[in-house]
Amino acid sequence: MTAQALVRGSGERDAETGAGHQLERRQKEGLLPEVAQVVGLASTSAPPTATAVPAAITAVSGCGRMPGTVPGSRPGRGRIGQVAGSFAEEWRPGGEMRLGDDPATARLFAAPLARLVDLVADIEVGGQEPGAVEPPLPNPEWTRWDHDEPGVWPRIPYLDGHDESRVPEFVVEAGERLRDRLSGIYLPRVLGHADWESQNIRWHGDTLWAVHDWDSLAWLPEAAIAGAAAGAFASHAEPTLAPIASSAAFLEAYQAARRPFTAEEIEVAWAASLWLALHNARAEALRGSKPIALNAVASQALDRLRLAGA
């Protein structure tokens, strides 16, 4: 979750037909009044130490770069994770983390994520049209419930060699039930940030200032993007799981800002909220870490499984 997404070469798509062009068109048409700034695109290349994010995402109220990269705007073309397309960068130091797991904080975190998904909704992913980009697959391991490997969990190299018998049975059982629930969904996928946590977001008061950690871009059903964030938004020093009432407030605010979910999508959102916490709980058990996610899962898993229809 901490590695930076690096620019790798000059890219494969023309900036005039890429994601940035689509964003620029939408802004000219007056469809993006909430966008704080759009960095112009050109065919220049960025230094290999710079972090890149898709131009269509950069514009969401100033999505930022990780500390230590070259300051200033440096537009260009490149590969972001595994997404080929246009990108733009902006150095955005400052801002503060918002800490809290209450419903009011949940609602504050939900609206910008909904705007982000709406902003990139018309970018074609995996198609043949001009400007289409390749999907950023595989998804981050903490949202990779659709893996095709044996067992409940995807293979995660940094957890190899640990004793799986240390993982409590209730964590494994919950994982099995969620895998069964999520394996049968056939919902359209969207681009979204899969690590929407307090530690990755900076604010000026109630105004979003910067979003970091863009190597966590995912291509998942929209309800899964929203659900994962509804469970994890309060994480900062250590991964945690928000209270159920706060996750519910997050999902309500997300839908109010974006669109109502179907009954199936509501269940998928709750399933995703728990899966990410199970990933963290398993890691805590394997490493013998302080059981923050483990304790939260122990107290909430049955309720979230019920809400997920799992």
Whether 1 is in a domain gets the answer no
Burial 39-56 (b: 16+ CB within 10 A, else e): bebeeeebeeebbbbbbb
Whether 206 is in a domain gets the answer no
CA distance to 105, 231, 241, 277, per residue, from 296 (Å): 18, 11, 6, 8
Q: Which of 82, 85, 87, 74 is nearest to 11 (CA)?
A: 85
Please indicate, yes or no, whether residues 107 and 75 belong to a single structural domain of this protein: no
The alpha-helical segments, DSSP class H, found in 69-159 are 103-119
Please indicate, yes or no, whether residues 218 and 268 belong to a single structural domain of this protein: yes
Please indicate, yes or no, whether residues 80 and 152 belong to a single structural domain of this protein: no
Of 88, 117, 144, which one is at a domain's C-terminal end? 88
Quick count: other Cβ atoms within 10 Å of Cβ 115? 17
Please indicate, yes or no, whether residues 137 and 286 belong to a single structural domain of this protein: yes
The whole-model pTM stands at 0.74
Please indicate, yes or no, whether residues 27 and 140 belong to a single structural domain of this protein: no
Handedness of CA 204, 210, 213, 216 (dihedral sign): positive
Report the alpha-carbon distance of residue 22 to residue 1 in Å, rounded.
28
Please indicate, yes or no, whether residues 139 and 267 belong to a single structural domain of this protein: yes
* CATH of residue 115: 3.90.1200
- Contact between 76 and 87 under an 8 Å Cβ cutoff? The reply is yes
Whether 2 is in a domain gets the answer no
Please indicate, yes or no, whether residues 291 and 172 belong to a single structural domain of this protein: yes
- How many domains does the chain divide into? 2
Structural element, H or E, at residue 204: strand 201-204
- Residue 243: asked if its preceding bond is cis (omega within 30°), the reply is no
Looking from the CA of 55 toward its CB, the CA atoms found within 13 Å total 34
Report the alpha-carbon distance of residue 189 to residue 29 in Å, rounded.
25
* Number of residues assigned to the chain: 310
| pLDDT string in tens for the chain (310-residue length) | 322 221 122 222 223 333 333 334 333 344 333 322 322 222 222 222 223 334 434 433 333 333 322 222 233 333 333 333 434 456 677 889 899 999 999 999 999 999 999 988 888 888 888 878 888 888 999 999 988 889 999 999 989 889 999 999 999 999 999 999 998 889 999 999 999 999 999 999 999 999 888 888 999 999 999 999 999 999 988 899 999 999 999 999 999 999 999 999 999 999 999 999 999 999 999 999 999 999 999 999 999 999 999 9
Please indicate, yes or no, whether residues 258 and 118 belong to a single structural domain of this protein: yes
Q: Domain limits at 151? A: 103-126+133-200+212-308
Please indicate, yes or no, whether residues 269 and 216 belong to a single structural domain of this protein: yes
Whether 78 is in a domain gets the answer yes
